[in-house]
């Protein structure tokens, strides 16, 4: 009876550094072939082993600025002298094909998207505790103590943006967090506003109508016998 919209879901996943955004996203993609993870665009030079269109879309600074001017970016920011952002065209292409698109981005970028596409699905990923977050950041062993503390302090500020999201998931265990994310996506697909039309002309509906008509006729006969 119900025909849902072909358009895919735009899913925005954010959270503090160390909350496990990429790990949870990768786990969900393993079980859902219809989910495409958006590829960011950057003006920085490719590092060794990075391929254009896989790690990032690599463009010149001039081209990136042109995309900003022509409103071709869903969100963007500049870090350490380089531009980073999400190109609108590639995301829209996959959505129009009926694929669900997931963006793993920082809070700043997520809030930019919310202004442009408020009906997107915004999910915030939290660590089980700030103590655990600090442990995860420290055990990475890829940054100085000063940088770890900077990320830790930033996390406190980012958590204050939680109320601007639709859902929150506590990432205590990867598989459990991934299952919750999958459940949220499935639930969103059942929303009434995703219904394109309700049709009553299927063979099943015709059989149902015939049975209903017969039952009504029997009830009328029973009434006449009284």
DSSP annotation string for the chain: -EEE-SPPPEEEEE--TTS-HHHHHHHHHHH-TTEEE---EESSPPPTT--BTTTBEE--HHHHHHHHHTT-EEEEEEETTEEEEEEHHHHHHHHHTT-EEEEE--HHHHHHHHHH-TTSEEEEEE-S-HHHHHHHHHHH--S-HHHHHHHHHHHHHHHTTGGGSSEEEE-SSHHHHHHHHHHHHHHHHT-GGGEEEE---SHHHHHHHHHHHHHHHHHHHHHHH-
Q: What pLDDT does residue 148 have? A: 79
**pLDDT values of the chain reduced to their tens digit, one per residue, 226 residues:** 566 668 899 999 999 988 999 999 999 999 999 999 999 999 999 988 899 998 899 999 999 999 999 999 999 999 889 999 999 999 999 999 999 999 999 999 999 999 999 999 999 999 998 888 888 888 877 777 787 788 888 888 888 899 999 999 999 999 999 999 999 999 998 888 877 666 556 666 566 566 666 665 665 545 455 4
- Please give the residue range of the domain that contains residue 211: 2-225
Q: What pLDDT does residue 152 have? A: 80
Number of domains in the chain: 1
Q: Tokens at residue 9, please?
A: 């879901």
How many C-beta atoms lie closer than 10 Å to residue 200's C-beta?
10
Q: What pLDDT does residue 158 have? A: 87
| Distances, alpha carbon 1 to alpha carbons 16, 90, 176, 200, 215, in Å | 42, 32, 33, 6, 22
CATH number for 53: 3.40.50.300
The single residue listed with the structure tokens 């459940």 is 183
Q: In terms of DSSP bridges, do strands 2-4 and 73-79 run parallel, antiparallel, or are they unpaired?
A: unpaired
Q: What pLDDT does residue 223 have? A: 46
């Amino acid at each position: 009876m119900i025909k849902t919209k072909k358009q895919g879901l735009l899913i925005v996943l954010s959270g503090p550094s160390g909350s496990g955004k990429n790990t949870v996203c990768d786990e969900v993609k393993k079980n859902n072939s219809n989910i495409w993870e958006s590829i960011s665009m950057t003006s920085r030079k490719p590092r060794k082993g990075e391929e254009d269109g896989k790690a990032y879309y690599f463009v010149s600074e001039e081209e990136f600025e042109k995309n900003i001017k022509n409103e071709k970016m869903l969100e963007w920011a500049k870090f350490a002298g380089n531009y980073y952002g999400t190109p609108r065209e590639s995301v829209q292409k996959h959505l129009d094909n009926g694929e669900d698109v997931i963006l793993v981005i920082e809070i700043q970028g997520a809030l930019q998207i919310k202004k442009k596409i408020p009906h997107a699905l915004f999910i915030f990923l939290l660590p089980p505790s700030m103590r655990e977050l600090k442990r995860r950041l420290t055990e990475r062993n890829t940054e100085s103590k000063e940088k770890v503390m900077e990320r830790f302090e930033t996390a406190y500020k980012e958590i204050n943006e939680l109320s601007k999201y639709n859902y929150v998931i506590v990432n205590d265990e990867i598989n459990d967090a991934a299952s919750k994310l999958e459940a949220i996506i499935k639930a969103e697909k059942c929303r009434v506003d995703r219904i394109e039309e309700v049709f009553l002309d299927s063979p099943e509906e015709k059989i149902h109508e015939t049975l209903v008509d017969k039952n009504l006729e029997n009830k009328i006969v029973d009434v006449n016998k009284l």
